[in-house]
Amino acid sequence: MLTLYTYFRSSASYRVRIALNLKGLTYESVPVHLLKEGGAQHSPAYQQLNPARLVPTLTDGAQPLTQSLAIMEYLDETHPEPALLPRDALGRARVRALAQSIACEIHPLNNLRVLQYLENELQVDAVVRANWYRHWVTLGFKALETLLADSADCGGFCHGDTPGLADCCLIPQLANARRFDTPLDAFPTLLRIEASCLALDAFARAAPGAQPDAA
């Protein structure tokens, strides 16, 4: 039985929820509220599962798996159809690069603990934090827009005409950008891909507002 430790608004958890839904996999969802009572991720029980005190964590049997990209690749290896990565080596490298540009370059800047450190330790006010976030996200989206718009491999989705690993990363990041009022009109390719994704049930069911802990 697959069990996902998740938080409704976590971009990394959102990615894995999309991947699970695309695979048609049944899983138990265990909410880990990152804000209430100082954050459930800091509890001793959760730290046993994930010493980094981050979400998501996926358990498949007794083995806990961490890091959203590693989890999604594990799902792709253990449940190959439908595939999240292309069959060819060059295609896989391209999709991994797109996914990592989001997960490794953009997302860490709006990670909750980073924003909390800016606020609590460095005393950066909300307006400056939001401007800081928008600067880096916009820079990352500009690169993504160019990579996708200029590539013949980009179809209805980031790679071809079926959703995959890169789309699982893109949609949560766009959702997060809207939370911080980041202008997105300069990224028509990203928005076109987003529209294709959001038309699919797998993405709709994974959305933050559709999660039981969103209430």
Q: How is 6-65 classified by DSSP, letter by letter?
A: E-TT-HHHHHHHHHHHHHT--EEEEE--SSGGG-GGGSHHHHHH-TT--S-EEEETTEEE
> pLDDT digit string (tens) for 78-103?
999 999 999 999 999 999 999 999 99
Structural domains for the chain = 2-82+203-214 (3.40.30.10), 89-200 (1.20.1050.10)
Residue 157 DSSP one-character state:
S
Angstrom distances, CA of residue 24 to CA of 12, 80, 166: 19, 11, 18
| Residues 183-191, mean pLDDT to the nearest whole number | 98
Distance CA 189, CA 115 (A): 28
Distance CA 92, CA 159 (A): 10
> pLDDT digit string (tens) for 18-52?
999 999 999 999 999 988 888 889 899 999 999 99
Distance CA 55, CA 127 (A): 26
pTM: predicted TM-score of the whole model, two decimal places: 0.95
What amino acid is encoded at 62 in this protein? A
% residues pLDDT > 70 (the chain): 100
Angstrom distances, CA of residue 40 to CA of 3, 31, 50, 52, 79: 17, 9, 12, 13, 30
> pLDDT digit string (tens) for 105-116?
998 877 777 887
Distance CA 73, CA 93 (A): 13
Q: How is 183-201 classified by DSSP, letter by letter?
A: --TT-HHHHHHHHHHHTSH
- pLDDT, position 111: 76
